[in-house]
Amino acid sequence: MSVIEEVKQRVDIVDIVSQYTSLTKSGRILRGLCPFHSEKTPSFFVYPEQQNWHCFGACGTGGDVFSFVMKKEGIDFGEALRLLGERAGVSIPSRPEPGAGRDEKERLYQTNEAAARYFHELILNSPAAEKAKDYVANRGLSLETVTGFQLGFSLNSWDALKEYLEERGYNENELLSGGLVTEKETGGSYDRFRNRLMFPIHDTKGHIIGFGARALDDSLPKYLNSPQTAVFDKSGSLYGIDLAAPAIRDQDMAVIVEGFMDAITAHQCGFNNVVASMGTAVTEKQINTLKRLTRNLVLALDADAAGEEAMLRSVGYENTLGAEVRVIVLPEGKDPDSVIKEDARTWQDLLGKALPIMDYTFNMITASLDLSTARDKSLAVDRLLPIIAEMKDIVRQGHYLEKLSRLVNVTERNLENVLRQIRPTLARPWVKAARQRVPEQALRPVYSSPLEEYCLALLLQHPELKKCSQEPLPEYFECTENREIFTAWQQSGDILSLKGGLDTTIQEHLDSIMDRMKKKDLEDNRIEPRYTDCVLRLRERFLRSLEVKRAAVLALEAELGGSAAELAKLEEQGIDISTQLGEVFIQKSRGAGIKGGKK
- For residues 151 to 180, the per-residue mask of contacts with Zn ion, x marking binding by CB under 5 A and - elsewhere, is ------------------------------
Contact 154, 119 (CB under 8 A): yes
Q: How is residue 542 annotated by DSSP?
A: H
Report in angstroms how near the CB of residue 483 gets to Zn ion at its nearest. Answer: 19
C-beta closer to Zn ion: residue 22 or 417: 22
Query: Judged by CB, which is closer to Zn ion: 37, or 222?
Result: 37
Cα diameter, the chain? 89
Residue 404: other Cβ atoms inside 10 A: 22
The answer to whether residue 282 forms part of the interface with Zn ion (CB under 5 A) is no
Task: Give SS3 for 211.
Answer: strand
Among 59, 364, 431, 468, binds Zn ion (CB under 5 A): 59
Q: How far is CA 116 from CA 155, 205, 267, 318, in A?
A: 13, 16, 20, 36
Interface pattern 545-584 for Zn ion (x via CB under 5 A): ----------------------------------------
Minimum distance between the CB of residue 57 and Zn ion, rounded to whole angstroms?
4
* Total of chain residues touching Zn ion, rule CB under 5 A: 6
Cβ-based nearer residue to Zn ion, 71 or 462: 71
φ/ψ of residue 468, rounded to 5: -65, 140
Number of neighbours of residue 94 by Cβ within 10 angstroms: 8
Q: How far is the CB of 18 from Zn ion (least distance, A)?
A: 16
Q: Which whole-number Å values give the CA distances from 443 to 5, 308, 436, in the listed order?
A: 10, 15, 10
- Contact assessment for residue 334 and residue 305, using Cβ atoms and an 8 Å cutoff: no
Report the site for Zn ion in 16-35 (rule: CB under 5 A): 34
Closer Cβ to Zn ion, 341 or 569, answer by number: 569
CA distances from 237 to 72, 182, 251, 260, 428 (A): 38, 22, 21, 12, 30
Q: Could you say which of 10, 26, 27, 36 contacts Zn ion (CB under 5 A)?
A: 36
Q: Which is nearer to Zn ion, 37 or 432 (CB)?
A: 37
Instruction: Tell me whether residue 64 or residue 540 sits nearer to Zn ion (CB atom).
Output: 64
Please list every residue from 37 through 56 that binds Zn ion, using CB under 5 A: 37, 55
By CB under 5 A, name the one of 42, 57, 200, 240 that touches Zn ion: 57
In the complex, least distance from residue 59 CB atom to Zn ion, rounded to whole angstroms: 3
Torsion of CA 36, 41, 42, 43, to 10 degrees: -80
Q: Minimum distance between the CB of residue 33 and Zn ion, rounded to whole angstroms?
A: 9
Closest distance between Zn ion and the C-beta of residue 30, in Å? 15
**What are the Cα distances from residue 556, in Å, to 28, 45, 60, 290?**
10, 11, 18, 42
User: For Zn ion, which is the closer residue by CB, 34 or 488?
Assistant: 34
By beta-carbon proximity to Zn ion, the closer residue of 37 and 428 is: 37
Distance of CA 101 to the CA centre of its chain: 24
- DSSP 8-state code for residue 146: H
Applying CB under 5 A, which part among 57-65, 81-89, 392-400, 486-494 lies near Zn ion?
57-65
Q: Which strand ranges, in their side-by-side order, compose the sheet holding 52-55?
A: 24-26, 29-32, 44-47, 52-55, 62-64
State which residue, 71 or 292, has the beta carbon closest to Zn ion.
71
Here's the x/- map for Zn ion, 404-443, by CB under 5 A: it reads as ----------------------------------------
> Is residue 180 a contact partner of residue 196, using CB atoms and an 8 Å limit?
no
> What residues line the site for Zn ion (CB under 5 A)?
34, 36-37, 55, 57, 59
